[in-house]
Chains A and B, each alone.
Chain A
Amino acid sequence: MATDKPSQQVHQQAIPEAQGMAVAASGPAVDPDARPRSIGGIGLDLLTIAYFAFALFPIIWILMLSFKSQDQLFTTYFRFDPTLDSYKAVLGLSSTTESVPFMKYFLNSLIASFGAVAVSLLVGVPAAYAFARYQFKGANDMLFTLLSFRFAPELMVIIPVYVIYQKIGLFDRHLGLIWVYQLITLPLIVWILRSYFQDLTPELEQSAMLDGYNRWQALVKVVVPLVKPGIAAAALLAFIFAWNSFIFPFILTGSNAQTVTVGALAFMGGAKPRYNVTAAAALISLIPPLVLALSIQRYLVRGLTFGAVKG
């Protein structure tokens, strides 16, 4: 003890001095330190720009295509006479040649995708909660089955589903699409939300249950508000997947319930493929997911970074 004390005092005296040295030394030391970092920063910026150019180029190309006239489609690159004809054709405003009821398809897509996500949330939120909180027989098998919907190719099941739909009258019906979209949306919502629920301590619901609420009320009043970001993120992802689904509406719908993904192809048929109109249709069909993503953006960042990654 006796020998320790003096040495401690020495240390205490030495430390401020050392700090002073560091402060003094940091003046000239900053520049050589900072320069490579800023070069690295610029490099990173350039890389990011390069990536964005690469990623966004197809979209820019489609944007240009959509403003080109049929004549200039294959004869120009960046310089052309912009025209709104393609958009008019998509929106059914022009009375040219064969008209495709694109707005009807658009509406169909909205109904099918929103419907599918709504049903999935209704079923998936309680299911995810149950998977997270209860250990029941077959829980893992059920979870795996749900997941297998995602990794089994849609083409594998499409023929039997087609035959069944024909038999029970769901072919070319909105309800049929909403139903089959559950293969896409439900696994996503259940799996993502399950990890959110697992991240919440069960004592929150337990506390609510002792505070006079039954289990269902505890879920609705305490737990669901806490996983709102997760619900928003999972629902958006599910919506995008449902919206972009091609095979299901392609095989399972005719003229009545057809969606934009299939409908946009209609402009490609005929004597001359109308790439410009298809491009305009594609851009218009980009709007709903984009608007949705922007409107729930504030949940999205939290939602996608917290919880969902863990399994």
Chain B
Amino acid sequence: MATLALKGVRKEYGKSVVALKGLDLDIGDGEFFVLLGPSGAGKTTTLKCVAGLEQPTLGHVEIGGLDVSNIEPNARKVAMAFENYALYPQETVYDNIAFPLRSRRYYREPGEAQSIIERVTTTLGINHLLQRLPRELSGGQKQRVALARVLVRPADVLLLDEPLSHLDAKLRAAMRAELKSLGELQSTTSLYVTHDYLEALALGDRIAVLNEGELVQVGTREEIWHRPVNTFVAKAFGQPQINLVEGEVIPGHDGPRFHGANGAVDLPMHGFDVTPGRKVITGMRPRDLVMDAKPGMAHIKGSVWVTEPLGRQQEVTLEAGGQHIAVITPLSSLAIGDTVTISVPVSRILLFDAESGQRIPAKDDAAGAARPIAEMEVSRG
């Protein structure tokens, strides 16, 4: 049990590669904190700096309020599951999991160790594999073994490096739910690295979005989802990706309007403090958009470009003024080239500055951030 803090952590490899450009993070005791970012964002480097496997070039890491710069990795009480599992190939699954319990630091009597391993492996559903060698396991099984090795020992901080990345989609969803129910993960400060936004939304008490060694945004899942600081964060969450339409604010008879995609996308901007003439980007989540013209909403007219069935729903991509707009709708018979109208709930529109990509706050910003996330409902169902 401990808090974890990164204070201005900068990591350079050699002279030209900067993996982390001064990272500041404060993670509470028992918090499940997710780091999300594309590959090369510096997620794994962050974990290794916390573990002590890499020394920050500048800055330091604090565990429980204590600067751990001069503490060896084996004395930091940090457990880590590696992305490539790092299972000891010459040892059986049992010996792999028992490995930390045989060290001087985390030593347990063999009998006690066995009961701990028994409990953890039963939870993870791998207790029938204990006598196998790592090379005889599937990727998903290896990942569970790596996870078990982390969970059998006491730790102040758990570091999990893409623990679900090599699982197939079905198993991943199941493991995601399982992970959440694991007591060890609920009570221990955890730093979880992933590039899967659904994992981040499902697991993270808070989420940090990382890009090119820099922190882009830290927040709860709702903040990240509804109030992304810039287009990068907006694009990082959601599948299909958020629709971003570039355009300009123009004066209208009932206040400023958004004019984009050669006039095909025309939206009221009364939710925002923007002056005509400003170049902006609007963001619309595909799951927020609705088929057909609904009263009280803004409308976009376009022709069907492509449809893709997704189980009970389908992803419809429209072509409007040379711009592609994706919509998630219930299954219906739409033919390519059909002219359709979609409705945009005005309160769900996100607005970004066209130059900087930074979000332009809405007038009701505080209220909007607390809404549930449509995406999550779908992923659970």
Binding site for B on A (CB under 8 A): 201, 203-204, 206-215, 217, 222, 225-226
Contact = CB atoms under 8 A, between A and B. Distances in A.
B86 A213 contact: no
A195 to B, nearest CB: 18
Interface in B46-78: 48, 51, 53, 72-74, 76, 78
Contacts of B153: 211-212
Contact of A211 (B48, B53, B90, B149): B149
A206 B73 contact: yes
Nearest to A214: B74
Given A201-B84, A203-B82, A203-B84, A210 B90 contact: no
Contact of B74 (A204, A209, A222, A225): A209
B88 A204 contact: yes
Contact of B80 (A201, A207, A212): A207
24 contacts: A201-B84, A201-B86, A203-B82, A203-B86, A204-B86, A204-B88, A206-B48, A207-B86, A207-B149, A208-B88, A209-B73, A209-B74, A210-B51, A210-B53, A210-B73, A210-B76, A211-B74, A212-B74, A212-B100, A212-B153, A213-B74, A222-B88, A225-B90, A226-B90
B321 interface: no
Q: Dominant SS at the A interface?
A: helix
A287 B74 CA distance: 47
A226 B103 CA distance: 19
A226 B91 CA distance: 10
A207 B51 CA distance: 10
A290 to B, nearest CB: 29
B304 interface: no
Interface in B267-323: none
Contacts of B48: 206
B146 to A, nearest CB: 8
A212 B82 contact: no
B82 A214 contact: no
Given A203-B82, A214-B72, 12 more contacts: A201-B86, A206-B51, A208-B88, A209-B74, A210-B74, A211-B103, A211-B149, A211-B153, A212-B103, A212-B104, A212-B106, A214-B74
Contacts of A209: 53, 72-74
Contact of B99 (A206, A208, A225): A208
Interface string B127-157: 0000000000000000000000100010000
A11 B255 CA distance: 60
A4 to B, nearest CB: 14
A211 B159 CA distance: 12
Given A211-B149, A226-B89, A206 B106 contact: no
A203 B78 CA distance: 15
Given A203-B82, A206-B82, A226-B89, A211 B99 contact: yes
A211 B81 CA distance: 11
Contacts of B89: 226
B380 interface: no
B351 interface: no
Contacts of A207: 80, 82, 86, 88, 149
A207 B48 CA distance: 11
Given A211-B149, A211-B153, A206 B90 contact: no
A204 B96 CA distance: 11
B371 interface: no
A199 to B, nearest CB: 12
A215 B103 CA distance: 12
B105 interface: yes
The 9 closest A-B pairs by CB, nearest first: A212-B103, A212-B105, A211-B100, A207-B86, A203-B86, A209-B73, A212-B106, A206-B53, A203-B82
A209 B88 CA distance: 13
Contacts of A212: 74, 100, 103-106, 153
